[in-house]
Amino acid sequence: MKKEYSQLLAIVNGAIHQKQPDIDSYIDWEQMQVLISNSGLYGVVLSAVGKLPEVFQPRKELMDAWRQTIVKRVVRQASSQMELGRVFRNAKEQGIRLISFKGISLAALYPNPLLRFSSDADIYVDAAERSRAEAMFVQMGYTKLEGCSKEHVPVYGIECDGRYLKVELHDSLWEDYEGYQTELLDSLQLLDESSLIECSPCGIPIVTMGYENHLIFLVFHMAKHFAFEAINLRFVLDIMLFIERYHEKIDWVHFWKLMGELKYDKLLASVLKVCYEYFEFNVDILPKEFEKLQISELFLEDILLRGIRRKGKSMEAFAFVGYMEAYFLRDRTHDSSKNILKIFPARSELKEKYAYAKKYPVLLPIAWGHRLFNTIHYSVICHRKGYAVKQVVEKAKYRLDLLAELGLLEKE
């Protein structure tokens, strides 16, 4: 393993267990900052970095700037949590059932919850009550963000202490996902009224999913991101810390049976193997068939680099993500499905830059043309910068092979 990877894992482990990281060699902080940024743990690891021997710490100017950034983010995070409390109070007063998931429930698992930063809040509302919930947000001063909204996830924003807080209002846990597990996921009824929990993470009263149901959703969410984009160390720690806190409340025989049916078992087992190996995770829940599972170096590197395997080449990353999107959003009913792209997608599938077509359906044909132009434009730029289509496809093939290894691809 590369030295910088071992050092990052040691820093993260030190942060989680609030101790000095086990590092005894020089750290390239220019490189380490990129890795820490990719990890999604920029705030979480600062305390551990401060515990390093002075000779291994970043230069003073870097540490001071880091601390100043963290202080600002902590203030905003606290404001966001208070705003979430206001949302739930208003919903309760109006008799609207809202269910919080991820976000604050996961932040509460960390040594300092305010250091697990979130850019938005995820809230579920039943489709039958969605219009009332949307009206409530407008009454509270929120603005609907058309460009960020999807068919099943309208997004609302509000100014909050100098920061624009976004709330994603889901009427489906799976958003627009239509994978081969959809029917099974729906049958699990993760939001059944009898399984919901009233709790106060970080002192904010909310309603959230039951422990086992929440963990099932977290694994689905991780698998979805791993397939379409990538996951980073925050996904890994979220699941590890959730299990450490609530493992006695979960029926592990039932849980692993479901993971097998959903084809998520090998991915989760691989993630937990990383936790056992590098983060002192000691909850014995791994099924016997995975006890001898070896951590793939490619899998671990994929997590540490957040799927971007060549630093600094954003155009190549753009083309790579585009290829993966084309693979997963292809028309599966056509004989030549592997080669068909959705050139004329529905409004709900358009990205944020085509917000005008979401707001004004009559402009959809213009958005299709705009999208096609951008595809050609970026292809030309990628080619000029040396990112040949062959290279991008090879990178995508590597990722598809990794997904196949972990059982996350459909059999065709």
Read off the pLDDT of residues 154-210 as tens digits, 9 standing for 90 and up.
999 998 766 778 999 999 998 766 655 778 888 999 999 999 999 999 999 999 999
Better-scored residue on pLDDT, 404 or 275: 275
Where do the structural domains in the chain lie, given as residue ranges?
A: 3-58, 79-209, 211-307, 314-405
Per residue in 25-76, pLDDT (tens digit) is 999 999 999 999 999 999 999 999 999 999 999 999 999 999 999 999 999 8
Question: What are the beta bridge partners of residue 157?
Answer: 143, 166
**How high is the pLDDT of residue 146?**
86
pLDDT band of residue 230 (cuts 50, 70, 90) is confident
Q: Residue 47 is which amino acid?
A: S
The answer on pLDDT for 103 being more than 90 is yes
Identify the CA nearest to 10 among candidates 60, 49, 40: 49
Share of the chain above pLDDT 90, in %: 62
When mean pLDDT is compared across 41-50, 95-104, 199-208, 306-315, the lowest value belongs to: 306-315
| Tokens linked to 164 | 């624009």
The answer on pLDDT for 386 being more than 50 is no
* CA–CA distance, 336 with 411 (Å, rounded to integer): 15
The answer on pLDDT for 104 being more than 80 is yes
* CA–CA distance, 27 with 33 (Å, rounded to integer): 10
Which helix (H) or strand (E) segment is 406 a member of?
none
Q: Is residue 155 within 8 Å of residue 167, measured between CB atoms?
A: yes
Rg of the chain over all Cα atoms, to the nearest angstrom: 22
| Tokens linked to 54 | 């002075």
Buried b (16+ CB within 10 A) or exposed e, 145-160: beebbbebbbbbbbeb
Please spell the DSSP secondary structure of 214-279, one letter per residue.
HHHHHHHHHHHHHHHT---HHHHHHHHHHHHHHGGGS-HHHHHHHHHHHT-HHHHHHHHHHHHHHS
The answer on pLDDT for 329 being more than 80 is no
Identify the CA nearest to 263 among candidates 184, 370, 354, 378: 184
Residues 6+ apart with CB under 8 A from 75: 161
The answer on pLDDT for 93 being more than 80 is yes
**How high is the pLDDT of residue 212?**
97
Residues 6+ apart with CB under 8 A from 317: 308, 310
Better-scored residue on pLDDT, 249 or 310: 249
When mean pLDDT is compared across 101-105, 225-229, 289-293, 356-360, the lowest value belongs to: 356-360
**How high is the pLDDT of residue 243?**
98
* CA–CA distance, 318 with 206 (Å, rounded to integer): 38
The answer on pLDDT for 251 being more than 70 is yes
- Environment class of residue 200 by beta-carbon count within 10 Å: exposed (0-12), middle (13-18) or buried (19+)? exposed
Over residues 92-112, the mean pLDDT reads 96
The answer on pLDDT for 79 being more than 80 is yes
Taking the model in full, what pTM does it have? Answer: 0.83
pLDDT band of residue 340 (cuts 50, 70, 90) is very low
* CA–CA distance, 210 with 280 (Å, rounded to integer): 26
**How high is the pLDDT of residue 412?**
43
Per residue in 137-156, pLDDT (tens digit) is 999 999 999 888 888 899 99
Q: Is residue 298 within 8 Å of residue 257, measured between CB atoms?
A: no
Q: Is residue 257 within 8 Å of residue 232, measured between CB atoms?
A: no
Better-scored residue on pLDDT, 118 or 359: 118
> Which residue in the block uniquely carries the two structure tokens 């009224």?
193
Q: What CATH number does the domain located at 79-209 have?
A: 3.30.460.40
Please spell the DSSP secondary structure of 79-92, one letter per residue.
HHHHHHHHHHHHHH
**How high is the pLDDT of residue 279?**
98
Instruction: Return phi, psi of residue 159, to 5°.
Output: -70, 130
The answer on pLDDT for 389 being more than 60 is no
Please spell the DSSP secondary structure of 337-366, one letter per residue.
GGG---SS--GGGS-GGGHHHHH-GGGHHH
Per residue in 255-296, pLDDT (tens digit) is 999 999 999 999 999 999 999 999 999 999 999 999 999 988
Which DSSP letter does residue 280 get? -
* CA–CA distance, 39 with 48 (Å, rounded to integer): 15
pLDDT band of residue 224 (cuts 50, 70, 90) is confident
Identify the CA nearest to 121 among candidates 79, 161, 92, 151: 79
**How high is the pLDDT of residue 260?**
94
| Tokens linked to 74 | 């902590």
Identify the CA nearest to 2 among candidates 309, 264, 284, 370: 309
The answer on pLDDT for 381 being more than 80 is no
Sign of the C-alpha dihedral computed for residues 71, 72, 73 and 78 taken in this order: positive
Q: What angle do CA 248, 252, 258 make, to 5 degrees?
A: 140
Question: What are the beta bridge partners of residue 364?
Answer: none
